[in-house]
Amino acid sequence: MSGRSYLGIPRALIPWYPSVDADKCIGCGECLDACPNGVFVLDDAAGKMVVAVPDNCVVLCDKCAALCSTDAIAFPDKTATKQLLRRLLEEMAPHHESQPRT
């Protein structure tokens, strides 16, 4: 597992990254230009963008989808992802036993 994390959560546990619908993608490269994190690469053979390094996607960022003129980029549900993040944070939080007051 990679050493990357988001809010202390290992990045590999967070399924937040784009998917590209190859039928809609025209290979324009807008997403590649918009994303400074190397998530996308152009598949030269197909002339389509592909997600090369999904874990490089910034959690909850979906800027590239908004810029895609053919709506070829989709992300998981943001609300569900936020709920997952809260649950993971709760699971990872140290459990403190109540200390009696003196």
Question: What is the value of pTM for the model shown?
Answer: 0.83
| 9 and 93 Cβ atoms separated by less than 8 Å | no
Mind listing the pLDDT tens digit for each residue in 52-101? 999 999 999 999 999 999 999 999 999 999 999 999 999 988 765 555 55
Domain encompassing residue 77 = 17-88
Give the pLDDT of residue 102.
52
- pLDDT, averaged across the chain: 91
Examine residue 11 and state whether it is found in any structural domain, yes or no. Answer: no
- Count structural domains, the chain: 1
76 is a domain residue: yes
- CATH (domain of 60): 3.30.70.20
27 within some domain: yes
Of 82, 36, 86, nearest to 63 by C-alpha is 36
* Position 57 in a domain: yes
